[in-house]
A and B are shown apart, each in its own frame.
Chain A
Amino acid sequence: MAKQYETVIGLEVHVELATKTKIFCGCSTAFGGEPNTHTCPVCTGMPGSLPVLNKKVLEYAVAVGLATNCTISRYCKFDRKNYFYPDNPQNYQISQLYLPICQNGRVEIETEKGKKFIGIHEIHMEEDAGKLIHDEWDDCSLVDYNRSGVPLIEIVSEPDMRSADEVIAYLEKLRMIIQYLGASDCKLQEGSMRADVNLSVRKTGEEGFGTRTEMKNLNSFRAIARAIEGERERQIELLEEGKKVIQETRRWDDAGGESYPMRSKEDARDYRYFPDPDLVPIVIDDVFLEKIRKKQPEFREDKMRRYKEEFDIPAYDIEIITGSKHMADVFEATVALGSHPKKVSNWLMGETLRLLKEKGLDPEDVSFSPENLAKLISLTDTKAVSGSVAKEVFEIMFARDIDPEKYVEGHGLKTVNDEGTLRRTVEEVIAGNPQSVEDYRKGKEKAIGFLVGQTMKAMKGKADPGMVNKLLKELL
């Protein structure tokens, strides 16, 4: 029965821009300040305060618009969206309705079902709201305006998606583009990327759209996928029972796996938009547009193509490395310093990913410099350190970005190539492990591995395993 229905999904994606200051005032956008310490008369709606647009916000918005194949409006304005809520200090949000900055774009996504274009209706600039904290003790709410006025762009898609897979592919695509632009870190969990899902269902083959609902509070890909499935089922059930879907905003409760209507009759949803008289129009000329266009980075698809041509590394490595602009930057910079691409890729794919996972970090959080990675690779290339020492040093470099050369020097970790010392240690190991020696002599080739290990251990890893191997064979 459910198979007769098709799901129609459009997304409203809010992205917090990576500016230093808020959209209309000189307050910091940094996370983690004490409540209301990043506020001023403008972002708390004090009487007589006035907004002035942060130029960087416009630049980022245009850059995202260009990267998503939008038409950039040569004339755009800000409008006021009027509604009362305590997180909104003016009780209107400065946004764009009538003349948004970008329109009519599209991005290509790929799912198991193949490639497809998702249309972008518009992208507009707006301000974020403050934060409400519930105070159980006094049974009230508390307002912190540190986030009030943080710049957002809202990317409104066409209702072109038909499944959760497509939605996630679309979000991944947007995230990649925006991260590559450096316009935002796009973290769903932290709220720097937020997606509202507009969903309706219709009988397969029907042309028109059904009544849609809007779902909010989706802060992971998993929640999005679950919410889509849940809402689809809810709507189909209503229709099968001969009931109607009500156009409303619903809040997804991921723990309960259910959604609830969000607003009361006191919210008329009549926003009385009108042009904000406190802000002047934005006129975009060719010079400005060209400046932004020139600054556009090489995006992921192009990068992947180029890596394939330039570097002899596996397709899988390319996929992972280009999956983060920062990772790709580290890769390219290290290679540019003379390191072998395959070796750089190995460090990133192996130890780096392992440590990121272990510490619960994102590729964007990688903090060691390409210079230091190049130095470490060179230390292993010249066999100045052994593989195990290199890993040890890397772990410290990963945490604190130390200079590996100085560290190895300072901690006496250089490989011992003095044959006399090494020969003495090997002799001691042979003497101390008669059983293994005997095994080896009886033809158990593997036993030599144990002896190599014992020697390396005795040398605290500072020996060249090849040389140890050679000496062992010679002495046995």
Chain B
Amino acid sequence: MANMISDETIEYVGILAKLALSEEEKEQARKDMGSMLDYIDKLGELETQGVEPMSHVFPVKNVFREDIVTNGDMREEILKNAPGEKDGMFVVPRTFE
């Protein structure tokens, strides 16, 4: 495998992605990511000098809304699926130190 993924990398990506992997999962992730990256490295063979990166396949542009209020009070719907709700708000673990 050309791409050796370190434990630190897996740890770091876990922080970015907010995933806590078990030791076993980490080992698997190292292996999988390494082989996926080896595979992706194939793109290195492609000559892309001067090629514009393409995000959208069509030249769609300038899609706008007018500045008009269209939504009413949807609080009940918005909170319907909340795991924790209090006083019309979503409950989360404390964020202040």
A and B directly contacting (CB within 8 A): yes
Interface members, chain B 58-73 (any A CB < 8 Å): 60-71, 73
A26 CA / B73 CA spacing, docked (Å): 11
Q: How many residues of B contact A (CB 8 A)?
A: 35
Q: How far is the CB of B77 from chain A (nearest CB, A)?
A: 8
Of A52, A86, A141, which is in contact with the most chain B CB atoms at under 10 Å from its CB? A141
When distances are taken between beta carbons in the complex, the residues of chain B under 8 Å from A56 are 66-67
Known A27-B69, A39-B75; judge A55-B91 contact (CB<8 A). Answer: no
Which residue on B lies nearest to A272, using beta carbons?
A: B16
Is the C-beta of A431 less than 8 angstroms from some C-beta in chain B?
Answer: no
Contact A40 B71 (CB under 8 A): yes
Residues in A whose Cβ lies below 8 Å from that of B42: none
A418 to B88 alpha-carbon distance, docked (Å): 66
Which of A129-137, A366-374, A439-447, A457-465 contacts the other chain? A129-137
Give the contacting residue for B86; candidates A21, A134, A138; CB below 8 A: A138
Produce 1/0 per residue, B19-58, CB < 8 A to A. Answer: 0000000000000000000000000000000000001100
The answer on a CB contact under 8 Å between A283 and B89 is no
Q: How far is the CA of A40 from the CA of B91 in the complex (A)?
A: 18
Q: Is the CB of A21 within 8 A of B68?
A: yes
Q: B67's contact among A21, A86, A142, A265, by CB below 8 Å, is which?
A: A21
A57 to B65, CA, bound (A): 10
Is the pair B65, A54 in contact by a Cβ cutoff of 8 Å? yes
Q: Does residue B78 face the partner (Cβ distance < 8 Å to A)?
A: yes
A171 to B74, CA, bound (A): 37
B17 CB → nearest A CB, Å: 9
Is B71 touching A26 in the complex (CB atoms < 8 A)?
A: yes
Structural contact, A35 and B88, CB atoms closer than 8 A = yes
Which residues of B pack against A, CB within 8 Å? 12, 15-16, 18, 55-56, 60-71, 73-75, 78-79, 84, 86-96
- Apart from A38-B73, A57-B67, A135-B86, what 20 extra A-B contacts exist at CB < 8 Å? A37-B88, A39-B75, A39-B78, A53-B63, A53-B64, A54-B65, A86-B92, A132-B95, A133-B89, A138-B86, A140-B93, A141-B93, A141-B96, A142-B86, A268-B12, A277-B56, A279-B63, A280-B61, A280-B62, A281-B61
